[in-house]
Amino acid sequence: MVWGTIGVCGYVTVEGDVYLEEDTWDPATGDPAPGSFAVRRDERARREVLFFASRRYPELAGCLPVKSAQDPACADCSGSGWITLGDHHIFCGQCGGLGWVALSSRGGEG
Ligand SMILES: [Zn+2]
């Protein structure tokens, strides 16, 4: 595990696999389902894990995608990587905190 917060853990394996485990929720109670996790390996999950983990392990920043001149700023966060709600700054899930979205990944998975 290279990063974690409430309900989410990020992993990088020695083989280079980057993935997230998220708590799943019991729809009947609205509570976390004990011992039940969903694994995500999509591009957003990969960016999120590498973005947060690189704060603790700077060498992982080299694994983040590199912005090309054609890649536009993220529309959700106006290129900052963070969304402001009142006094709170929330990580932008659309761009994974990078502030931009690769043209090749736009219109892909939600
Ligand atoms: Zn964004």
* The pLDDT of residue 51: 93
pLDDT at residue 108, as a whole number: 44
Rounded to the nearest angstrom, the distance between the alpha carbon of 89 and the centre of ligand 1 is: 12
Q: How far is the CA of 83 from the centre of ligand 1 (A)?
A: 8
Q: In angstroms, what is the span from residue 35 Cα to ligand 1's centroid? A: 31
Whole-number Å distance, alpha carbon 6 to ligand 1 midpoint, is 21
- Stated as kind and residue range, the H or E segment containing 56 is helix 43-56
Q: How far is the CA of 21 from the centre of ligand 1 (A)?
A: 21
Domain boundaries, the chain: 1-64, 65-104
* Tens-digit pLDDT string for the chain (110 aa): 999 998 899 999 999 999 999 999 888 888 888 888 899 999 889 999 999 999 999 999 999 989 999 999 999 999 999 999 999 999 998 898 899 988 775 544 44
Beta bridge partners of 89: 84
Phi and psi at residue 31, in whole multiples of 5°?
-100, 160
Are the C-beta atoms of residues 40 and 20 closer than 8 Å to each other?
yes
pLDDT value for 105: 58
